[in-house]
Amino acid sequence: MPGIKTIKKPRTLPSRLRKVQLIEATITSISKHGISGTTLTSVTKEAGLSLGLVNFHFKSKEVLLTETLRFLAEEHRTLWMSKLSKSNLSPRDKLFAIVDAQFDPSVCSRKKLAVWFAFFGETAQRKSYRTTSSDIDMERQDVCADLFQQIITAEGHEQRDAEGCARALEGLFDGLWLNMLLYPAKFTRKDAAVQVRTHINAILPASST
Amino acid sequence: MPGIKTIKKPRTLPSRLRKVQLIEATITSISKHGISGTTLTSVTKEAGLSLGLVNFHFKSKEVLLTETLRFLAEEHRTLWMSKLSKSNLSPRDKLFAIVDAQFDPSVCSRKKLAVWFAFFGETAQRKSYRTTSSDIDMERQDVCADLFQQIITAEGHEQRDAEGCARALEGLFDGLWLNMLLYPAKFTRKDAAVQVRTHINAILPASST
DNA sequence: AGCAATTGATTGAAGGACCATTCAGTGGAA
DNA sequence: TTCCACTGAATGGTCCTTCAATCAATTGCT
């Protein structure tokens, strides 16, 4: 019986796939109702599955949330690393590639931002949230510091501190994300990206060779 | 603050004062347990009062939270406005005064930061949170834009956009706050303030008269 | 291939805990 | 005595978790 179009949705799925489905439902639920408003009922309803499934695939709600944050962090990491490795770019262009990644729709949608900051808001209490996102942030910050250093030495901006530039960039990233979340009307992804590019060019004026 | 020992604590207090006490207990509780972990029991226990009091002084838990955010926002606003009006400062020094206010211990302690971001995390869902903090942020951003404009015209940095500078500054403020919350070991208040001053001086080099 | 038996995923009701809110009653100040 | 602040038990609701039952796919056996 060669079924053509009819992608029959199987009742059961291997655990790995079901987990992803539940994580995505969790992201949607958090973006709609916040973390405190996200219940196992809201998640499973969003996924169209039954209540008990979360505790079958994840040990607890707590684990589901941790895995959701890890999922987002991995997704983010994958994105900027792939943009970075596209062809051979100059250090400055690599920096701009990271900026692009930061404000890419797939990472920086209103939905995702709401979820990121929902987790940040719980961060002070849950050490596990902090370490999960910190690992990835730090990695990127180190890469940025390295790129800044390359630009500084290559173009002769010796008065600048690469480490400080990287920290300021990281701060700008997070701060603009927050502003996009708080004032979506006043801040688009493009605005933010341009803002950061302008900042970088102000800090390190391109040598007019 | 209490110098004398014999401050007899009266059993009852005028509503205004009791409200402040409950709000402060709420801030402490949120900083310890997050918003989702903050219950009326945790708040009243923190304040050393009985469970039913919150619903007596506030209409509901929701109102308590809203008032708590408003309290923080007012506190913040009062601080930067007072620092701004201290004596007659140059535009650049006024800007620096706002920077100082942003990283003042009374506003930017780990405890307060945890609470700020707890609210930001719920912001996407609760419109009331957004407007409360937005009003005050916008006011300050306008003041900053104005100061930037004064510096730009006075010192001849015509290539800079005051509005953009103000937005970047606002972004830096929020982003550094977040970094201080996430990585308290790597980021002190002083570091952050220096970081921002450096940024401003990089954007608008002081004229070497 | 046909047919149990086994395995693993899924369901949803039930249990037990916790939470916001209510309210009848207490206490103290004016 | 009156009035307002305050107390804490009771209520009704929601939530996480557990688990016995169900279902479908796969395996093993003939």
CA distance B84 to chain A (A): 23
What share of chain A in percent tops pLDDT 70? 94
**Nucleotides, chain C, CB distance < 7 Å:** 8-14, 18-24, 27-29
Q: Identify the pLDDT of residue B5.
A: 39
**Nucleotides, chain D, CB distance < 7 Å:** 4-10, 14-20, 23-25
Mean pLDDT value of segment B118-137: 91
- In DSSP notation, chain B reads ---SS-----S---HHHHHHHHHHHHHHHHHHHTTTT--HHHHHHHHT--TTHHHHHSS-HHHHHHHHHHHHHHHHHHHHHHHHHSS---HHHHHHHHHHHHT-HHHHSHHHHHHHHHHHHHHTT-HHHHHHHHHHHHHHHHHHHHHHHHHHHHHT-TTS-HHHHHHHHHHHHHHHHHHHHH-TTT--HHHHHHHHHHHHHHHSPPP--
What's the CA A2/C1' C3 distance, rounded, in angstroms? 25
Mean pLDDT value of segment B153-162: 94
Q: Which CATH architecture has domain B11-58?
A: Orthogonal Bundle (1.10)
Q: Identify the pLDDT of residue B4.
A: 37
Pairwise CB contact (< 8 Å): A120 & B125: no
| Identical topology for domains A10-58 and A71-203 | no
Mean pLDDT value of segment B44-55: 97
Q: Which chain B residues are Cβ-neighbours of A117 within 8 angstroms?
A: 117, 120-121, 123-124
The overall average pLDDT reported for chain A is 92
> Phi, psi (5° rounding) for residue A196?
-70, -40
Nucleotide with smallest C1' distance to residue A62 CA:
D16
Digit-coded pLDDT (tens) for A37-79: 999 999 999 999 999 999 999 999 999 999 999 999 999 999 9
Q: Identify the pLDDT of residue B8.
A: 59
Digit-coded pLDDT (tens) for A183-209: 998 889 999 999 999 999 999 998 754
**Does the pLDDT value for residue A126 go beyond 90?**
yes
Q: Which residue type occupies B148?
A: F
The strand C neighbours among A residues 11-40, by Cβ under 7 Å, are: 11-15, 18
DSSP state of A204: S
Q: Identify the pLDDT of residue A8.
A: 57
Mean pLDDT value of segment A132-138: 89
**Does the pLDDT value for residue A35 go beyond 80?**
yes
CB pairs under 8 A between A and B: 140
Nucleotide with smallest C1' distance to residue B13 CA:
D5
Q: In CATH, which superfamily holds the domain spanning A71-203?
A: Tetracycline Repressor, domain 2 (1.10.357.10)
CATH code assigned to A10-58: 1.10.10.60
The domain locations on chain A are 10-58, 71-203
CATH code assigned to B69-203: 1.10.357.10
Nearest to A35 among B121, B160, B168 (CB): B121
Q: Identify the pLDDT of residue B10.
A: 76
**Does the pLDDT value for residue A147 go beyond 80?**
yes
